[in-house]
């Protein structure tokens, strides 16, 4: 007698979404560090007030938490045969999109402001 194949919650779609969420979050922090290095602190989109390291630690914790939340939401949806539409990816997807927006905003900053204030090219 054969055993039924066990369903894996963490399938390829889940890992792709998790990798995108975590990767973009890390890239957001890197882009922000680069922007702060190249420009004045006030010109970069950085997510608010407070100490930089604390805010970035909270950002990474939020990203991890949303990935875990997506896992449990996916598991619940996969166990319910009546689920018509799957929304497990929504938490990580919104976070990924918001972080990508911050990356684009900070990565496309012009160096004109920096050059006008007497900074030299590295």
Is 6 a domain residue? no
Q: What is the pLDDT of residues 13-29, one digit of tens each?
A: 999 999 999 999 999 99
Is 13 a domain residue? no
Say how far apart CA 98 and CA 109 lie, in whole Å. Answer: 17
Mean pLDDT in the chain?
A: 83
Do 92 and 68 meet the contact criterion of CB atoms below 8 Å apart? no
Q: Does the pLDDT at position 119 exceed 80?
A: no
Q: Does the pLDDT at position 5 exceed 60?
A: no
Could you tell me the residue range of the domain that residue 78 belongs to?
21-116
Is 56 a domain residue? yes
Q: What is the DSSP string of 60-118?
A: HHHHHHHHHHHHHHHHHHHH-TT--S--TTHHHHHHHHHHHHHHHHHHT--SHHHHHTT
Say how far apart CA 37 and CA 115 lie, in whole Å. Answer: 13
Q: What is the pLDDT of residues 55-108, one digit of tens each?
A: 899 999 999 999 999 999 999 988 888 888 889 999 999 999 999 999 998 888
Name which of 70, 82, 56, 85 is nearest 16 in CA terms. 70
Is 121 a domain residue? no
């Amino acid at each position: 007698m054969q055993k039924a194949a066990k369903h894996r919650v963490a399938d390829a779609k889940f890992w792709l979404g998790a990798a995108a969420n975590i990767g973009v979050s890390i890239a957001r922090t890197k882009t922000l560090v680069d922007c702060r290095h190249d420009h004045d602190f006030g010109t970069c989109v950085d997510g608010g007030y407070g100490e930089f390291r604390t805010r970035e630690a909270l950002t990474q914790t939020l990203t991890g938490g949303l990935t875990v939340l997506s896992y449990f939401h996916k598991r619940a949806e996969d166990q319910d045969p009546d689920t018509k539409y799957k929304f497990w990816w929504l938490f990580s997807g919104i976070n990924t999109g918001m972080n990508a927006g911050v990356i684009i905003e900070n990565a496309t900053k012009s160096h004109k402001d920096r050059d006008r204030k007497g900074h030299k090219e590295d």
